[in-house]
């Protein structure tokens, strides 16, 4: 799947437009056998290596995702899952 596979009416936007300023967002992964458990991940851009990646915070694994593995993104609504005083 590519950015052309997203559905605008569903609120998902193409990965090419995703903010790479460490803003928290939700990404939707392309379907496949590797993505059986989680199809959506809370992520933010991590450019600490030579090639930036999306770092997942959906669980404690810290999964790294590239744009090619994602169908689209959408803004994270107010972040009630974050604890007060957590660093951003």
Pairing of strands 64-65, 70-75: unpaired
Q: Indicate if the pLDDT at residue 84 is higher than 70.
A: no
Place of tokens 């999306």: 54
1-26 confidence digits (pLDDT tens): 444 554 555 788 999 999 999 999 99
Place of tokens 């199809």: 39
- What sign does the CA torsion over 24, 41, 28, 15 have? positive
The answer to whether the CB of 69 falls within 8 A of the CB of 54 is no
Domain ranges of the chain: 3-73
What span, in angstroms and rounded, lies between the C-alpha atoms of 66 and 1?
A: 13
20-51 confidence digits (pLDDT tens): 999 999 999 887 756 556 688 899 999 988 88
């Amino acid at each position: 799947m590519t950015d052309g596979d997203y559905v605008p009416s569903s609120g998902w936007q193409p990965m090419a437009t995703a903010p790479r300023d460490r803003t928290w967002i939700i990404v939707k992964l392309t379907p496949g056998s590797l993505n059986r458990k989680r199809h959506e991940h809370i992520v933010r851009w991590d450019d600490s290596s030579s090639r930036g990646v999306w770092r997942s915070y959906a669980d404690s694994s810290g999964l790294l995702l590239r744009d090619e593995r994602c169908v689209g993104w959408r803004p994270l609504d107010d972040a009630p899952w974050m604890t007060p005083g957590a660093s951003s």
